[in-house]
C-alpha cells in the first residue's frame, strides 16, 4: 500500500509536471517526476501559468525538500534552519508558500520568492504554523498555533503579520483556500465539537456552510474568485461526498459519481472542480466536474493524488509507480476509453472472412473454366 502524504493534516495531493501557457493554443509538456534520483519521489503541489511548479522531493529515507521545478531544473528552497520543508501553493508571480522546519524542529509557515528567499511568517503565539494558499497579490492563508495550543485559521495582513480568523465557537480552525477578494475557506470547530466548512469574508467574519443532508461534519478546501466553494461533507449514510457550494445551495458531486468516498480538492476560474474518488480495495481515481458533467477518469488516465486544476484546464496531481510518487499532470479532458471487443463484432468478422473465402474460390474456379473455354457464371 502506498504511503499517505500530507502537506497539512488533510491528505496532500500533488505531484506533477508540465509547463502550460494559458492560451487557446497552449503547448503542454508532461514529465514524470522532476528528474530526481532513483529511489526518491517527487510531488508538485501547484503550478502557475508560466509553468513553474511548487513541489517536493521526497527522499528515500523520508526527508522532504521544498523545491520549484521548471524546464528540467530544480531549485532548492531550503528551510528555516531545520532539516525539512514542503511547498503548498504558488502564485502567478512565482511566490511560493508552504512550511519548513526551524532550528528547534518546529514547523513554521513560509513565503518564498527568488529575490528575497524564504521568510518565516511566524505563528499566532504558539509553536507552529502552516501556509496553504496564496493570491496573485501575495495574500496568504493557513493555520497556526495560538498561545493556548489550538490551531486557528489565519490570513496575512499588508505587513505579512498573521490575522487570527477565530473559530465557529469551538477550539480550532484551519484555512485551506483563499481568493483574490480576501475570502477564506476552511474547516472550523463548533461549540458542540463538530467541524464544519466555513467561509470567512473581510468585515463579515466566519460563516458556517453546513453539510449535505444528514451529515454531521464537512470541510471546505478551495474557492475561486466567483465565490464557488468546494470540499467534502459527510452524508446521512456516513460516507464522504465531494460538494460545490455557490453561496445558496450545496451540490452533491459525490451522488453524481454514485460510489465510494469522494473529496473535491480544487476549483479553477471557470468553475471546473477536481478531486479524488476512493473505492474500498482500489486505488484512488481522479474526477473532473465541468459544464454540468461528471467524469471519473480511468486509473490509467488519471492521478493517484489530485491536487489542483489550473485555469488552462490542467489537472495537477500524482501518479504512484508501485513504490514511490512521481510528479505528473493530465488534461482535464479524459482520453477516449479503449474500445471493448464485442462478440457480435467477432461473429461478423468470421462471417465476412468465410464469405470472402467462398467468393475467392468461385473466382479462381471460374477463371480456370474461362481458360478452358467454359461458360462463366457469377453468383
The CATH number of the domain where 283 resides is what? 2.120.10.30
Q: Do residue 195 and residue 243 come from a single domain?
A: yes
C-alpha to C-alpha distance for 293 and 19, rounded to whole angstroms: 26
Q: Do residue 326 and residue 347 come from a single domain?
A: no
Q: Do residue 228 and residue 353 come from a single domain?
A: no
pLDDT digits (tens, 9 = 90+) for 205-229: 999 999 999 999 999 999 999 999 9
C-alpha to C-alpha distance for 190 and 192, rounded to whole angstroms: 5
Q: Do residue 61 and residue 35 come from a single domain?
A: yes
C-alpha to C-alpha distance for 94 and 116, rounded to whole angstroms: 12
Closest CA to 247 of 230, 235, 265: 230
C-alpha to C-alpha distance for 284 and 306, rounded to whole angstroms: 9
**Could you say which DSSP state residue 168 is in?**
B
Give yes or no for residue 26 having a pLDDT over 90: no
pTM here is: 0.82
Number of structural domains the chain divides into: 2
- Percent of the chain having pLDDT more than 70? 80
> Is residue 8, in this structure, part of any structural domain at all?
no
> Is residue 167, in this structure, part of any structural domain at all?
yes
What does the pLDDT average to over 92-113?
Answer: 98
Check if the beta carbon of residue 54 is closer than 8 Å to that of residue 87. yes
Lookup result for grid cell 509557515? 109
> Is residue 60, in this structure, part of any structural domain at all?
yes
Check if the beta carbon of residue 225 is closer than 8 Å to that of residue 216. no
> Is residue 67, in this structure, part of any structural domain at all?
yes
| C-alpha cell recorded at residue 336 | 477516449
> Is residue 1, in this structure, part of any structural domain at all?
no
Q: Which residue has the higher pLDDT, 260 or 347?
A: 260
Q: How far apart are the first and last CA of the chain?
A: 65
Q: Do residue 143 and residue 232 come from a single domain?
A: yes
Q: Do residue 140 and residue 103 come from a single domain?
A: yes
Phi, psi angle pair for 363, to nearest 5°? -65, -45
94 contacts: CB under 8 Å, gap ≥ 6: 48, 50, 52, 68, 113, 114
Q: Do residue 131 and residue 41 come from a single domain?
A: yes
Query: Which residues on adjacent β-strands are paired with residue 129?
Result: 144
C-alpha to C-alpha distance for 70 and 81, rounded to whole angstroms: 25
Q: Do residue 56 and residue 90 come from a single domain?
A: yes
Check if the beta carbon of residue 303 is closer than 8 Å to that of residue 328. yes
> Is residue 101, in this structure, part of any structural domain at all?
yes
pLDDT digits (tens, 9 = 90+) for 160-185: 999 999 999 999 999 999 999 999 99
pLDDT at 335: 73
Q: Do residue 217 and residue 253 come from a single domain?
A: yes
Give yes or no for residue 355 having a pLDDT over 70: no
Other C-beta atoms closer than 10 Å to the C-beta of 352 total: 10
Cα 88 to Cα 46, 104, 105, 194, 261, distances in angstroms: 7, 22, 19, 26, 24
Q: Do residue 272 and residue 352 come from a single domain?
A: no
Instruction: Please state the separation of Cα 252 from the chain's center in Å.
Output: 18
> Is residue 271, in this structure, part of any structural domain at all?
yes
Q: Do residue 54 and residue 34 come from a single domain?
A: yes
List strands edge to edge, sheet with 261-267: 261-267, 273-278, 285-290, 293-296
Give yes or no for residue 319 having a pLDDT over 90: no
C-alpha to C-alpha distance for 239 and 5, rounded to whole angstroms: 22
Q: Do residue 289 and residue 374 come from a single domain?
A: no
pLDDT at 317: 80
> Domain range for residue 370?
342-379
| C-alpha cell recorded at residue 277 | 474518488
> Is residue 240, in this structure, part of any structural domain at all?
yes
Amino acid at each position: 500500500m502506498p504511503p499517505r502524504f500530507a502537506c497539512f493534516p488533510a491528505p496532500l495531493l500533488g505531484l506533477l509536471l508540465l509547463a502550460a501557457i494559458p492560451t487557446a493554443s497552449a503547448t503542454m509538456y508532461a514529465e514524470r517526476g522532476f528528474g530526481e534520483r532513483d529511489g526518491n519521489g517527487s510531488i508538485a503541489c501547484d503550478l502557475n501559468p508560466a509553468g513553474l511548479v511548487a513541489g517536493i522531493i521526497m527522499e528515500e529515507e523520508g526527508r522532504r525538500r521544498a523545491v520549484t521545478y521548471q524546464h528540467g531544473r530544480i531549485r532548492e528552497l531550503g528551510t528555516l534552519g531545520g532539516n525539512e520543508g514542503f511547498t503548498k501553493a504558488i502564485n502567478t508571480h512565482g511566490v511560493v508558500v508552504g512550511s519548513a522546519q526551524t532550528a528547534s524542529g518546529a514547523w513554521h509557515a513560509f513565503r518564498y520568492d527568488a529575490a528575497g528567499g524564504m521568510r518565516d511568517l511566524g505563528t499566532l503565539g504558539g509553536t507552529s504554523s502552516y501556509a496553504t494558499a496564496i493570491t496573485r497579490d501575495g495574500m496568504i492563508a493557513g493555520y497556526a498555533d495560538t498561545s493556548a495550543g489550538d490551531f486557528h485559521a489565519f490570513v496575512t495582513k499588508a505587513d505579512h503579520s498573521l490575522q487570527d480568523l477565530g473559530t465557529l465557537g469551538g477550539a480550532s480552525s484551519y484555512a485551506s483556500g483563499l481568493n483574490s477578494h480576501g475570502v477564506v475557506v476552511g474547516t472550523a470547530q463548533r461549540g458542540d465539537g463538530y467541524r464544519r466548512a466555513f467561509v470567512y469574508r473581510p468585515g463579515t467574519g466566519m460563516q458556517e456552510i453546513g453539510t449535505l443532508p444528514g451529515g454531521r461534519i464537512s470541510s471546505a478546501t478551495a474557492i475561486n474568485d466567483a465565490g464557488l466553494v468546494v470540499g467534502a461533507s459527510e452524508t446521512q449514510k456516513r460516507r464522504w461526498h465531494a460538494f460545490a457550494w455557490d453561496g445558496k445551495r450545496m451540490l452533491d458531486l459525490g451522488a453524481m459519481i454514485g460510489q465510494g468516498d469522494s473529496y473535491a480538492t480544487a476549483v479553477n476560474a471557470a468553475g471546473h472542480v477536481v478531486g479524488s474518488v476512493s473505492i474500498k480495495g482500489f486505488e484512488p481515481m481522479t474526477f473532473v466536474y465541468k459544464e454540468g458533467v461528471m467524469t471519473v477518469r480511468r486509473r490509467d488516465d488519471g492521478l493517484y493524488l489530485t491536487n489542483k486544476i489550473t485555469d488552462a484546464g490542467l489537472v495537477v496531481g500524482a501518479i504512484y509507480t508501485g513504490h514511490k510518487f512521481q510528479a505528473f499532470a493530465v488534461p482535464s479532458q479524459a482520453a477516449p476509453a479503449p474500445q471493448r471487443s464485442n462478440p457480435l463484432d467477432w461473429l461478423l468478422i468470421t462471417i465476412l472472412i468465410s464469405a470472402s473465402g467462398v467468393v475467392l474460390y468461385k473466382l479462381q474456379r471460374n477463371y480456370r473454366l474461362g481458360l478452358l473455354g467454359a461458360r462463366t457464371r457469377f453468383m
